[in-house]
Amino acid sequence: MKEPHDPIRCRECGFEVEEANQMIAFLREELEVKEGNLRDVEIALRTERAKNTRMRNDRDAQKVMEPLKAEADEVFAYWQGILSPHAREFSGKRWDNVIARLRGGATVEELKRAIDGVALRPYVTDNGRRAEGTPAQRQVELELICRSESHVLRFQSYLEEEQMGETELIPPARVRVLQAACTRPSVLRRLSVLRGWAPTAVKELGLGLEGGQIIFFARDEEGKVTGFSRYQPNPEKRSNGRPKNIARGMRELFPGPEFFDSKVIWLVEGEPDEVAIRTIGFPGVAVPGIATWKEEWTQRFATFEKVYVCFDCDSQGREAAEFRAAALSEVTDPVVVDLDPNRSDGFDINDLLLQRGESAAADLSALATISAGPDAVFQPRLDNVRPFLAVTQALKNIGMTVKEINDSRATSNCPNHDDRRPSLSFAEGDDGRVLIHCHAGCPPESVAGALGLTLADLYPR
């Protein structure tokens, strides 16, 4: 039998030659794979570079064809001269943001004013806060200034603050920034949950938002901001002992009566109730406080045939409502509407909105109609008035105590006879009509007549 040959070894290191050859072959294969991968990467890189070149050429062509190119170049040149003289490239986010603002309706002059506003703040960082020792030229890029409409307005407000006169309280651009913050979808949803306010009411009244607080802007007859107040809409975040509404500057009627073209108007207590009654769907004006009333305000209501005065359900609110009605009687027909004569806990229109939701409009209509009488000028949405509420309010108006069992059933003393023990029961039927039953035997028409109502009033209109 033939013996196997001894392996050939290196004389110097003793390594087997065959194993060395195998390792060299393996390394060569690895090298070929890596070289193949490198060639693939180089091909992909050349392809990507060619793609980027085509995109850049297309972008340059689009820039040349852009209708607003001249305006954008003017903004860029102005920014160069004011804030960044060493900048050369006008592309990328700089170009995109400037074009976006111009397409959104901003003018060249407005963008220049924003740049001027930045130049007035020598130590402004990206988040708008001061950072000592950081030059503005290194922080405030053109793409940041034009990043959004709110950014442009914020930087414009810096310039307007420097140009404000002594009689001006807040720059118009700053007002627009705060108003834009209050119209974000998340904020509108939050206000709807906390206060029941409709997004349309928030936008129409021009509310602002800062630091989680709602800003009410007081304006004079010319629309100029004369003051503002801050309101915390979340009751859980209000400090004990501090007022809900903290004002600054000269407060005014909110909004001015001159902005309404109607025969009637509601006068409510406080700006939050104005948002509530606007949500309900009625025209209204808020007094900035029950103790605040100027003699010249009375004449501003002379164009209305009737003014419904509806303040809070407490002694101060009712007393102030009577005083305001007395003052308004010189120029119009005022009607005091009490939301609930049996309450003295400060219950107001916003509470009614939160409690009744969509039914608040019908409830308030019924209260207004009952308070003003059958010849009332104000009769909105009478087809939605709940007869049950009309009967309840009519009983309360003549001093009867109503005990509500639930939302559609209650008991009271009968107004048609000397009733020392409550013997009147009334409830709302499935069809909306009121079912009246006097346990002493008084017929329904007599009970309704004692309340100043007819049987027809017990049916929904």
| Residue among 392, 422, 385 nearest 407 (CA) | 392
Q: Is a pLDDT exceeding 80 seen at residue 361?
A: yes
pLDDT at 311: 93
- Give pLDDT tens digits for 187-208: 998 898 889 999 999 999 999 9
* Residue keyed to tokens 């193949």: 36
pLDDT on residue 246: 66
Cβ atoms of 248 and 229 within 8 Å: the answer is yes
pLDDT per position as a tens digit, 16-69: 667 767 778 888 888 888 888 888 888 888 888 888 777 766 666 667 778 888
pLDDT score recorded for residue 245: 59
Q: Is the peptide bond before 460 cis (omega within 30 degrees of 0)?
A: no
309 band by pLDDT with thresholds 50, 70 and 90: very high
**pLDDT tens column, 368-413:** 877 766 454 443 333 345 688 778 878 877 878 888 887 788 899 9
Least Cα distance to 112 among 87, 85, 146, 88 occurs for: 146
Q: What is the pLDDT of residues 325-336, one digit of tens each?
A: 999 999 999 999
Work out the pLDDT band at 6, boundaries 50, 70, 90: low
List, for residues 223-272, the tens digit of each pLDDT value: 778 888 888 888 887 766 555 656 677 778 888 888 888 888 999 998 99
Which comes out higher in pLDDT, residue 217 or 371? 217
- State pLDDT tens for residues 102-115: 988 888 988 988 88
Residues near 258 by beta carbon (within 8 Å), at least 6 away in sequence: 221, 300
Q: Which pLDDT score, from 0 to 100, does residue 140 have?
A: 77
Which among 337, 409, 410 is positioned nearest to 378, based on CA atoms? 337
- pLDDT for position 247: 66
Q: Give 136's pLDDT tier (boundaries 50, 70, 90).
A: very low
What does the pLDDT average to over 337-353?
A: 89
CA 85 to chain centre: 40
φ/ψ bin of 23: left (φ > 0), alpha (ψ from -120 to 50), beta (otherwise): alpha
Antiparallel, parallel or unpaired: β 264-269 and 284-287: parallel
Q: Is the pLDDT of residue 293 over 50?
A: yes
Query: β-strands 306-310, 284-287: how paired?
Result: unpaired
**Distance separating alpha carbons of residues 416 and 396, to the nearest angstrom:** 14
Q: Is the pLDDT of residue 150 over 90?
A: no
Q: Residue 8 — very low, low, confident or very high, per pLDDT cuts 50/70/90? A: low
DSSP 61-107: HHHHH-TTHHHHHHHHHHHHHHT-TT-----HHHHHHHHHHHHTT--
Q: According to the model, what pLDDT value does residue 139 have?
A: 55
* Residue environment code for 172-189, b if the CB has 16+ CB neighbours within 10 A, otherwise e: ebbbbbbbbebeeeebbe
Predicted TM-score of the model (pTM): 0.55
Task: Using pLDDT thresholds of 50, 70 and 90, give the confidence band for residue 414.
Answer: very high
pLDDT value, residue 226: 81
Place of tokens 């008991």: 411
In this predicted structure, what is the pLDDT of residue 244?
62
Scan for tokens 């297309």, then name that residue: 58
Cα distance between residue 229 and residue 290, in whole Å: 15
Between 75 and 169, the more confident residue is 75
Per-residue pLDDT, 349: 92
Residues whose CB is less than 8 angstroms from the CB of residue 62 and which lie 6 or more positions away in sequence, other chains included: none
The confidence score (pLDDT) of residue 156 equals: 82
How many CB atoms neighbour CB 164 within 10 A? 15
